[in-house]
Amino acid sequence: MAGGEGTRLRPLTCDCPKPMMRLMNRPVMEYALKLLKRHGIGDIAVTLGYMPDAVTDCFGDGSALGVRLSWFVEQTPLGTAGGVRQARAMLDETFVVLSGDGVTDLDITRAAAFHRERGAVATLVLARADNPMDYGVVDVDAEGRVRSFHEKPDWSEVLSTSWSRRRLRACPRGVPATSATSCSRRWCGRACRCTAT
C-alpha cells in the first residue's frame, strides 16, 4: 500500500508522495521492499494513488532491488482493502499487506507461520502503545481472536495484515473499503477465525 496523500506531513508531501520521502537518503518504500525480499517475497503488488509516477519512475519493475513489482493505480481513493482488491488476480491463498510508506522490522516469516497455524482468515500484527487512542484498539480474547475494533474516527490503516483470498472476496469492488472497517466487521462474529498476534 503506497497510495496515501500524506496530508499529515504537508507541506513536505505537496510535491513528493509519502513512499518517496527520504530516510537516510533512501525512499521510505525501499525499506519495505527490502524487508519483503528478506522474507522470501519477490512478487510484489504495489497500490498507488497520489503522484504514482514518482514512485514507478524510481522503482520501475523492481529488478534493481531483486524483486518483481506490479503496479495498481487507483483513479479514485479506494481505501486499504479496495486498493488491495485491485491486485486480486496475482494474490495466492495467503498474502501480506504492508504499508509502503512506513518503516518496520516486522518478522513477516513468523507472522505468516502464525497465520497458517491458526487457520485464520486474517491476521493482524499488533503492537502495544503507551496511548492506544492514538492508533485505535483491537479487542482480542485469550486465544488472540479478534472480538472488535475501537478506532479513532479517521483511523484507516493497519500496519500489516495477512489475508486469505476468502477474506478479500468480502471487500466490495470499486468502492472505498478499509481493512480495519468495511471488510473486517463482516468477519468478526462469524464462524471464521480472524486472529491477532
pLDDT by residue, tens only, the chain of 197 residues:
777 777 777 887 788 888 888 889 999 999 999 999 999 999 999 989 888 999 999 999 999 999 999 999 988 888 778 888 888 888 877 888 888 888 889 999 999 998 888 888 888 888 777 766 666 777 778 888 887 776 653 444 333 444 445 555 555 555 555 554 445 444 444 444 455 55
Q: Which residue intervals of the chain are DSSP H helices?
A: 28-38, 52-59, 79-85, 108-118, 165-168, 184-187
pLDDT at position 160, please? Answer: 40
- Total residue length of the chain: 197
Ordered by where they begin, the domains of the chain are 7-196 (3.90.550.10)
3-class DSSP state of 120: coil
Label residues 82-111 b or e (16+ Cβ within 10 Å = b).
bbbbbbeeebeeebbbbbbbbeeebebeeb
Q: Shortest CA distance to 188 belongs to which of 120, 125, 128, 98?
A: 120
3-class DSSP state of 170: coil
Catalytic residue among 18, 34, 37, 152: 152
| Strand duo 22-23 + 26-27: pairing | antiparallel
pLDDT at position 32, please? Answer: 94
pLDDT at position 91, please? Answer: 84
pLDDT at position 56, please? Answer: 95
Tell me if residue 37 is catalytic: no
